[in-house]
Amino acid sequence: MALLRAAASLPVLLLKLTPRANELTPRDALLTPKGSSRNYAFFERLCEELITASCPACYIAEQHGDGRRDFYFAAEDVVGFQRIARATAEASAFPLAVEQHSLGAVAALILPAEAIGDLNLEIAASARIRPTRFEFWGAETSLAKLRAELEKRGYRFLGVEAFARELHMVKDVPIDGEGFGSVLKEIVPLARSLQCSYRGTETVEGHEQFLLTNPLPERYTAPRASIFRRMFGRGGS
């Protein structure tokens, strides 16, 4: 998280590598194992070149799609980074396109939703609501109860991996800090009340904090009503 905080104010450079035609599967135009291996060889070589040149840059994320594997870096020295990246791509026989963005502009694509709020990133209004997938662990009967409760709240069922005892649901939810925080404060305690645990895919710290053997972090607990509200309700008559 410290690296992301440092990167939040820096330009983010998106590297788009164009694979060879024989590095894509005929049916789906996905990278073949050979194409994927060549992508990672470029990535490793680029990191080595950046270290050798003492270029202040930090790898942030990768993204798959459109027959490519794209890499995101934050860089203080944009000109120096691009020079090294283009030289590395040329040495690897890769056509390379480089785009410059802010972290906020690409956050919805590459960061866990919780990180967007933790970093106080400004994201476009059009990107603030996103179809988001949620996974839960639990026993079969517990997952069935959780599915029913989530469907009442507008979540859509995607499937169950019986062997992994994992339920998959999806819903269009806000991914800004306050909005996504409210989502987690609803579903995390709900899952726990039914002896299930959220996998934490969209959180910074991941799944271990949600294990039933661990106390639930306070940031995910629903706010409790004061004793006066519990006794007398929301307002006087």
Q: Which fold has domain 125-220?
A: Alpha-Beta Plaits (3.30.70)
Work out the burial of residue 161: count CB atoms within 10 Å of its CB; fewer than 13 is exposed, 13-18 middle, 19 or more buried.
exposed
Kindly state the DSSP code that residue 95 receives in the 8-state scheme. Answer: -
pLDDT of residue 233: 52
Q: Are residues 117 and 128 in contact, defined by beta-carbon separation less than 8 angstroms?
A: no
Give the pLDDT mean for 178-202.
95
Secondary-structure class of domain 9-101 per CATH: alpha beta
pLDDT of residue 226: 45
9-101 against 125-220: fold identical: yes
What does the pLDDT look like over 41-50, one tens digit per residue? 999 999 999 9
- Cα–Cα dist 222/186, whole Å: 7
Which is more confidently placed, 101 or 222? Answer: 101
Q: Are residues 180 and 107 in contact, defined by beta-carbon separation less than 8 angstroms?
A: no
pLDDT of residue 228: 42
pLDDT of residue 28: 84
Give the pLDDT mean for 206-211.
93
pLDDT of residue 151: 98
Mean pLDDT estimate for the chain: 90
Residue 235 has pLDDT above 50, yes or no: no
Question: What SS3 class is residue 120?
Answer: coil
Joined tokens for residue 60: 């942030």
Joined tokens for residue 192: 């726990």
pLDDT of residue 98: 97
Q: For the chain, what are the domain ranges?
A: 9-101, 125-220
Give the pLDDT mean for 2-15.
86
